[in-house]
Structure 1
Amino acid sequence: MLTRRRVVTAGGAAILATSSAGRADTYPSGRVTMVVPFPAGAATDISARVYAERLAALWGQPVVVDNRGGGNGIPAAESVARARPDGLTIFATSAMTQAVNPALYEKLSYDPIADFEAVTRMGTSPFVLLVDANSPINTAAELTAKLKAQPGKNNFGAGALPARVASELYKLEAGVEAVYVGYKSNPQAIPDLQSGLLSFMMIDTVNAKIAIDRGALKGLFVTDTERYPLLPDLPTAAEAGYPGVLLTTWTGYYVPKGTPRQIVDKINTDIRTVAAIPEVLERLESMGGAPKLMDPDAFAAFTRSEKERWGSIIHRANIKLE
């Protein structure tokens, strides 16, 4: 875990507070780097670029998206945790680095709570429980009945850890067995679901909609409290009889620990300004939903609760790194 020590005298604290306010008044005073722990083209990256373009115009300073994919986001998270706490480095990340990794790694080179200041949640996205489009199964109850009738004889696939966690949560809540098959990406598992090698899978809503719209797969429910706007005919897990299968992945923005609160608040305020621009809102809604922003304190509390929630599921399902 990264730690930082700062010893400030009473007089020094007053000077620090004054200089912090000054920095906030002129923020940003140079190029801002938005670190994304995923490759270009990923959903988090696309969203970050939408905001980066508009924030650059608002701030009159360049905002550069720096893709640092690989390692389950650990190298990217560590680089931000080590960055200067001046607001010029923003971490555009997801539940993967802040909620999933802590439960998978006994030793992590960063602390998702202690090493960052929460700025705002950006959005949330549920998962979709899917079967082959030609399957006779039309409901989650029918899938559960099949899996219970054939214990240990069915497989499920996932190409991303959050999707696997969602699938394991369904298994736990439904009381069924199925063997995990790993893939490099969620879309790569779709042909095996169609061929019958897999009995079901959970994937993100964007890829699920693409597969459903082209007639490849059939959705059974979404793992959220509300129906997904781009797939309104799909029931929620609760409507399908599985209220415990509630899990959404999410994106959010953080800055290094120690960044002055005035700067954190300014970034939050300016992101809200950008999110309210009609063209931005339309673009984000086309990608899966309107922004679900939070103030810094609420997002910090949300991060803590999500770390516990994802960790609980991972430990209950005994998920280990491959």
Structure 2
Amino acid sequence: MKSIFYLCAALSVAMAQTAVAQSYPSKPIRMVVPFGAGSGTDQVARALAQAMGQADKITVVVENRPGGNGFIAAQDVANAKPDGYTMLLTTNSTHAAAEHLYKNVPYDPVKDFTPVALLRKGYLVMVTKPEFAATTVADFTEQAKKEPGRLNFGSGSSSSRVSAELYRQIAGVDLVHVPYKSNPNALNDLMGGLLQVMFVDTSSAVNLIKSGKLRGLAVSSQRRLDILPEVPTMQEAGVKGYEMSYWTAVYLPRNAPPDITAQLSRLLGKAMNSQELKQLTEKTGTEVAFGDGEVLSQFQASETEKWARIIKAAGIKPE
């Protein structure tokens, strides 16, 4: 009798979970972004929210929580109720690089989250003000070597910082790092003359380059990007062995129900195939790299090892 009771109880729980998943989502979903408005990640978040609303009548509220190296947003979601209504749209900054850059990360990027979906990959571009004397990477490197410790770079994400640190290591130059809450803030200071150089995601930089507000010196990809065909790769610019990319993914708090996780993954996959997202990836030089939670889990593990190697090779000490 006990075995029949436990079987019935298990079936009841399974049926209840299935019913919840079938009705999910039944209220607005909160999408937390660890970077500021206007950042590349923010652009994806808002395009996703729009696509999910149009296709499935789902209300997704984008909430930017920049600062604290992405810790504020990550902690927010890690501590949220795991019911599928609070998700983190983030990058390798919080979920592959942070534990190797900082001594006291207030969350576990694996244990505190449920992987939902890998969304896209992207690249960075080395930029300066158009008025800056150096017009090529070689020029910048030469000037930096003549003035060690005099030139600075800003970063508002781990990808931005580590890209610059990798260049600094390979080129053998001494640059001063200036941290920011988000890349848009750093870009404003770059255009204002407070910074000399930045490595920033193409999503944030392409329009500024095309409008003449910034000069693109080189891209971090292995081949030139269609949106910036005139900008050489770092390899072409003489920084041999240089290649960097970043990625965007979605997580729920730990212990999120598998049915809810799978349903959200399906909804995100559908949105990534929408015309809005296809147009966004085309105009920002990024690429769709969709995978479900299992794919994301395996990818995150390999990327964490990769970023650890890069950060260690660049000589960056955890702060």
What range describes the TM-score normalised by the shorter chain of this pair? 0.7 to 0.9
Q: Distance in 1 between matches of 2:51 and 2:63?
A: 16
Q: Give 3-state SS (helix, strand or coil) of 2:35's partner.
A: coil
Q: How does 1:197-216 map to 2 (within 5 A)?
A: 200-216=197-213
Cα-to-partner distance string for 1:283-307 (whole Å, 9 max, x where unaligned): 4433443433223222212222333
Q: Distance in 2 between matches of 1:58 and 1:210?
A: 28
Residue of 160, 176, 181 corresponding to 2:156: 160
Contact 2:51–2:271 (8 Å) recurs in 1: yes
1:253 Cα deviation after fit = 0.7
Cα-to-partner distance string for 1:169-219 (whole Å, 9 max, x where unaligned): 0111222333334566222342466xxx86543223244334432335432
Cα-to-partner distance string for 1:247-291 (whole Å, 9 max, x where unaligned): 223321111222233332222222222222224422443344343
- Alpha-carbon distance change, 18 to 106 in structure 1, aligned in 2, over 3 angstroms: farther
Residue of 60, 66, 71 corresponding to 2:68: 71
Q: Which residue of 2 aligns with 1:289?
A: 286
Q: Which residue of 2 aligns with 1:5?
A: none
1:222 Cα deviation after fit = 0.8
Code of the aligned partner of 1:318:
I
Q: Which residue of 2 aligns with 1:126?
A: 123
Q: Which residue of 1 aligns with 2:85?
A: 88
Q: Which residue of 2 aligns with 1:112?
A: 109
Q: Give 3-state SS (helix, strand or coil) of 2:246's partner.
A: strand
Aligned CA RMSD, in angstroms, stands at 3.1
- Alpha-carbon distance change, 319 to 167 in structure 1, aligned in 2, over 3 angstroms: farther
Q: Give 3-state SS (helix, strand or coil) of 1:112's partner.
A: coil
1:57 Cα deviation after fit = 4.3
Q: Give 3-state SS (helix, strand or coil) of 1:309's partner.
A: helix
Structure 2: tracts of 5 or more residues without a match: 1-5
- Alpha-carbon distance change, 210 to 14 in structure 1, aligned in 2, over 3 angstroms: same
Residue of 27, 32, 37 corresponding to 2:34: 37
Please tell me whether residue 298 in structure 1 is matched to residue 282 in structure 2. Answer: no
1:97 Cα deviation after fit = 1.7
- Alpha-carbon distance change, 208 to 65 in structure 1, aligned in 2, over 3 angstroms: closer
- When structure 1 is superposed on structure 2, of 100-109 and 197-206 the one drifting more is 197-206
Q: Distance in 1 between matches of 2:82 and 2:233?
A: 41
Code of the aligned partner of 2:154:
A
Cα-to-partner distance string for 1:120-174 (whole Å, 9 max, x where unaligned): 22223322123453566554344434444x2625413114243222111011122
Q: Give 3-state SS (helix, strand or coil) of 2:295's partner.
A: helix
Contact 1:158–1:203 (8 Å) recurs in 2: no
Q: Give 3-state SS (helix, strand or coil) of 2:103's partner.
A: coil
Contact 1:130–1:217 (8 Å) recurs in 2: yes
- Alpha-carbon distance change, 26 to 243 in structure 1, aligned in 2, over 3 angstroms: farther
Q: How does 1:127-276 map to 2 (within 5 A)?
A: 127-133=124-130, 137-148=134-145, 150=146, 152=148, 154-162=150-158, 163-182=160-179, 185-191=185-191, 200-276=197-273
Q: Give 3-state SS (helix, strand or coil) of 1:291's partner.
A: strand
Contact 1:122–1:291 (8 Å) recurs in 2: yes
Residue of 16, 21, 25 corresponding to 2:22: 25
- Alpha-carbon distance change, 319 to 63 in structure 1, aligned in 2, over 3 angstroms: same
User: TM-score when scaled to structure 1?
Assistant: 0.81
Code of the aligned partner of 1:74:
F
Identity fraction in percent: 33
Aligned residues: 309
User: TM-score when scaled to structure 2?
Assistant: 0.82
Cα-to-partner distance string for 1:66-93 (whole Å, 9 max, x where unaligned): 3323322222211211222222221111
- Alpha-carbon distance change, 142 to 319 in structure 1, aligned in 2, over 3 angstroms: same
Q: Give 3-state SS (helix, strand or coil) of 1:254's partner.
A: strand
- When structure 1 is superposed on structure 2, of 18-27 and 170-179 the one drifting more is 18-27
Contact 2:155–2:199 (8 Å) recurs in 1: no
Q: Distance in 1 between matches of 2:209 and 2:42?
A: 24
